[in-house]
Structure 1
């Protein structure tokens, strides 16, 4: 599934959560993905938490109104009231990342109110100098020292119905997913795990699904094309996906 990053009114793409590059208007992107028959879209506001502000509800409502597919949104969600507004404007899933660490009770409240299928626990992971994965919050700027597998289990215990794990070190590099990380989390929890960070080809997608992920999210793979990374919205055909997933 395409994972699109919001910064202000535009779409950007980052590399290792840094150097955001403008790649276009989100409404235009949604219309193109509609035509390409995408199953689901993820939108993440990359500055909301760091700027201590609420989600941009009007912009999200505009995006959701144009989308023919379910929308998941993350960024700046810290209260049940904020989540309620997102659901009201058309979001189907809320991604809770920083608050999953700092306010885990929010996961339970949302799950009990809207159902666990609407609550996604986001886990941003960066490996330290020893290669050990550690959970980062606040858009990848704050090292919590937490183990991502343990956090995934806590998210599920609190009511999260899905885990989205994003490998910061591979974000935007198109070098492939962090398969050991995704595999470890998938084995440790009973809910679907969505892998993100590093997809450069459909083979990468197949590899992470084979590792245990229930779905693969990607940004660069679906917004760039060719060796010079020209901006071009693209998505595999239904036949390509069926061949890749053996359906």
Structure 2
């Protein structure tokens, strides 16, 4: 059985699913509920839904849409976007989601992470950290859809969020997101080495070898995938898909065998 979680991260824009590239332009993917039904048939282990407009629009989650998603989904779900009140977090869990993903509001009120963890447990809290390089190549932590620069570096912020009660870190390279160029292994490795909680690598997955590299070279515990599971291939049309379980098991088991021999 594959121990590494491969998590489709699906982006909500209003009532639809979209896919962005480097957090900018986006393409329409389809209806969220229909997409969930396809992933049910593909026997995906877990799904993450991230609303990319809620924070910028200063609104809370679309609970009606989330309820529709949860009613169709057979696997564990996580949700992020516009969460800044415990009452809203409770509604998300009551609908049927197992985890919440917090990004921008954690910088405004870091204690919000502790409040959620205290009530629902650390396993229910995922903190999302987005990292982007500026024109000089300097690495910056960003929030609000990549539009606002934050002071901490990725490692220190991940450590702080772990201390506050985060159970997982969703680490995204903005520069790689939607590009099919592979993960930022250096970034993933540095953050993974500084925390004891699982790190989910995101941004750049283009195929199974990239997933293996994120775990073996980057030290990630899991990987989040976007473009490679909603498009046929780079530059082609929409096709919701997922690697065969046997393909994933073979790739990851081969890596484990090599590591054991070293």
Moved over 6 A (4+): none
Matches within 5 A, 1:204-243: 204-210=210-216, 211-243=218-250
Q: TM-score of the superposition, structure 1-length normalised?
A: 0.98
User: 1:244: Cα distance to partner?
Assistant: 1.8
Aligned length: 247
Report the 3-state secondary structure (helix = DSSP H, G, I; strand = E; otherwise coil) of the residue aligned with 2:43. Answer: coil
Matches within 5 A, 1:4-43: 4-43=10-49
Q: Is 1:193 equivalent to 2:199 in the alignment?
A: yes
Contact between 2:180 and 2:234, CA under 8 Å: does it hold in 1? no
Alignment RMSD: 1.0
Report the 3-state secondary structure (helix = DSSP H, G, I; strand = E; otherwise coil) of the residue aligned with 1:140. Answer: coil
Contact between 2:176 and 2:183, CA under 8 Å: does it hold in 1? yes
Q: 1:160 aligns with which of 163, 166, 179?
A: 166
* Larger CA deviation: 110-119 vs 143-152: 143-152
User: 1:34: Cα distance to partner?
Assistant: 0.3
Provide the residue aligned with 1:99 in structure 2.
Answer: 105
Report the 3-state secondary structure (helix = DSSP H, G, I; strand = E; otherwise coil) of the residue aligned with 1:169. Answer: coil
Q: TM-score of the superposition, structure 2-length normalised?
A: 0.92
Q: 2:185 aligns with which of 164, 167, 179?
A: 179
The 2-side partners of 1:96 and 1:232 are apart by 29
Cα pair distance change 1:156/1:234, threshold 3 Å? same
Structure 2 gaps, min length 5: 1-6, 257-262
Output one character per residue of 1:26-73: Cα deviation in whole Å (capped at 9) or x when no partner: 111100000000000010000000010000011011101111000010
User: 1:75: Cα distance to partner?
Assistant: 0.4
